Amino acid sequence: MKNFSNTYIYIFSSVMVIVVALLLALAALQLKPYQDKNIEVEKKQNILASINIIATPANAAELYAKYITNSYVVNTKGEHLDGIDAFRVDIKTELSKPKEERALPVYVSTFEDGKNAFVVPLRGKGLWGPLWGYISFEKDLNTIFGANFDHQGETPGLGAEIKETFFQKPFIGKKIFEDSTQFVSIKVNKGGVDPNDPHAVDAISGGTITSKGLEAMVDSCLVLYKEYFIQNKK
Amino acid sequence: MSSKNLKLFTIPFNIQNPVTVQVLGICSALAVTVKLMPAIVMGLSVTVVTAFSSLIISAMRDYIPPRIRIIVQLVIVAALVILVDQLLRAFVYDVSKALSVYVGLIITNCIIMGRLEAFAMGNKPWPSFVDGLGNGAGYAMILIIIGFTRELLGSGSLLGHTMIPKAFYGAGYVNNGMMIMPPMALIVVGLIIWIQRSKNPELIESK
């Protein structure tokens, strides 16, 4: 076995690391447009899922163009903000800004029968990582029309169940306002919930922290839209 | 391909199989084999990484200082894995989501480091490449067998297409929910090892 000097080892490792880093940076740069497109398609799929339309990656763009007929951005006072593309708004960055400066996207969908649904994004924390999702409302901006949640790394079989339909379905028909002006959000309660309770759904057994995180996410994100909802309800 | 190189390629399929004989790479074999598609993609990814890391390490072997050889191997393997991960994210996003952390964990797959240490560090690039290819493919083969069994029996489908006719369900057939759980992957591996050993007596240790 040959003997290598320390100098050789230092030069060897430095050169190797620099070459590898350059190659990887180049690859990441070249592949970014494709990856961004996939993320965009997934976002469209999630928005469509929240209005109860199941889209595949192949037809997501087409269905999105068909059903999402309008989108705009509002602030916490319920005023429209001009010149911002709602689809490009990253709710994660918005939530890190001061409350008054946040741009809050609203997606409006129109169905074949002329009915509308209003979709807003959600983002919060679960047990292991971020949670996110979309929730849609009927034109009274009070009754939930559909909900879709996803997560990064919640426990499989427990917290991860929030992305299953059996958990998301009970949200449909629930109301976020009491007496139409008092914001109460939706509670995610352990140990069985009266299905007729308009403001609560059943939590996931064994997924308490994820369930509570989801409840906090729904509450903290929807409260931002409170003024907009009150002013625009029909 | 010479007969010696051909042997390097074929031996991992049978009496030197990395999963069933050397019992390496079990972790990912359990985790990504619920459905056939992720199993195929994982098998391909590992094959690509083993083959090319063997090739690169073997080509560099005379210049790698022995004192830092493990680090050098890790850097090469990690770079290839990141490259594979980025490619999956760009072109098969669904599968990349299904594989999630396991693509990154290819780095820690014992098969790769094992082949680099045992073979590539001491052999010429071409035989090393073939050896890596063979071992990756041997691993992929087991993953595909497990993925096939688990998806067919657990979900009644293959590559997402329903395989069990509706009439069967009507007659009272139910998908085996156990097959979706990781322990069943271990049991399927056990069955494969059992069959393989009963066919190859030389694999059975003398008492």
Task: Give percent of chain A with pLDDT exceeding 90.
Answer: 29
Residue of higher predicted confidence among B80 and A128 = B80
Instruction: Tell if the CB–CB gap between A28 and B86 is shorter than 8 Å.
Output: yes
The DSSP secondary-structure symbol of B25 reads: S
User: For residue B76, what is the nearest residue in chain A, using CA coordinates?
Assistant: A20
Q: Would you call B68 and A24 a contact, using CB atoms and an 8 Å cutoff? A: no
Looking at the complex, report in whole angstroms how far the Cα of residue B90 sits from the nearest Cα belonging to chain A. 4
Cα of A167 to nearest chain B Cα, Å: 20
* 8 Å CB contact of A9 and B82: no
Q: Is A18 on the interface with B (CB under 8 A)?
A: no
CA B102 to chain A, closest CA, distance in angstroms equals 13
Q: What is the pLDDT of residue A1?
A: 54
Give 3-state DSSP helix, strand, coil % of chain A, rounded to 5. Answer: 45, 25, 35
Cross-chain residue pair B67–A16, CB shorter than 8 Å: no
pLDDT at position A211, please?
92
List chain A residues with CB under 8 Å of B87: 31
Residues A20-41, mean pLDDT to the nearest whole number: 91
Q: Per DSSP, which regions of A46-185 are E strands? A: 68-74, 80-81, 104-110, 116-125, 130-137, 144-151, 177-178, 182-183
Q: What is the pLDDT of residues A59-92, one digit of tens each?
A: 888 888 888 888 888 888 888 888 788 888 888 8
The model's pLDDT over A164-205, given as tens digits with 9 standing for 90+, comes to: 888 999 899 888 888 777 888 888 888 778 878 888 898 888
Q: Residue B31 corresponds to which tokens in the numbers above?
A: 């985790």
pLDDT for the residue numbered B171: 79
Percentages helix, strand, coil for chain B (3-state, rounded to 5) are 75, 0, 25
Put simply, whether A57 touches B (Cβ < 8 Å) is yes
Interface test with A, best of B30, B69, B75, B99 (most A CBs within 10 A): B75
Task: Give chain B's contact residues with A (Cβ, < 8 Å).
Answer: 62-68, 71-72, 75-76, 79, 82-83, 86-87, 89-91, 93-94
* Of residues A179 and A98, more confidently modeled: A98
Does the model's ipTM exceed the 0.85 cut?
A: no
Cβ within 8 Å, pair B90-A35? yes
> Is residue A217 domain-resident?
yes
In a domain, A32, yes or no: no
Q: What is the pLDDT of residue A2?
A: 65
Beta bridge partners of A182: A178
- Domain membership of residue A8 (yes or no) is no
Specify the number of domains making up chain A: 1
Q: How far apart are CA B121 and CA B50, in angstroms?
A: 13
Domain with A99, as residue range(s), is 46-232
Task: Select from A19, A23, A29, A34 the residue whose CB has the most chain B CBs within 10 Å, as the one to mutate to test that interface.
Answer: A34
Contact between B90 and A57 using a beta-carbon 8 Å cutoff:
no
Low-confidence ranges of chain B (pLDDT < 70): 1, 100, 207
* CA distance to partner chain A, nearest, from residue B83 (Å): 7
Is B83 within 8 Å of A35 when comparing Cβ atoms? no
Which one of B82, B107, B178 would you mutate to disrupt binding with A, by most A Cβ within 10 Å of its Cβ? B82
Please report the pLDDT score of residue B50 as a whole number: 92
**Interface residue A15 vs chain B (CB under 8 A):** no
Strands A68-74 and A104-110: antiparallel
* Across A91-105, average pLDDT: 87
Query: Which residue's entry shows tokens 């070249």?
Result: A30
For residue A14, being part of any structural domain is answered with: no
B93, B94, B99: best mutation site toward chain A, by most A Cβ within 10 Å?
B93
Average pLDDT over residues A35-51: 90
Is A26 inside any structural domain? no
Give the count of beta carbons closer than 10 Å to the beta carbon of residue A173: 12
pTM above threshold 0.90: no
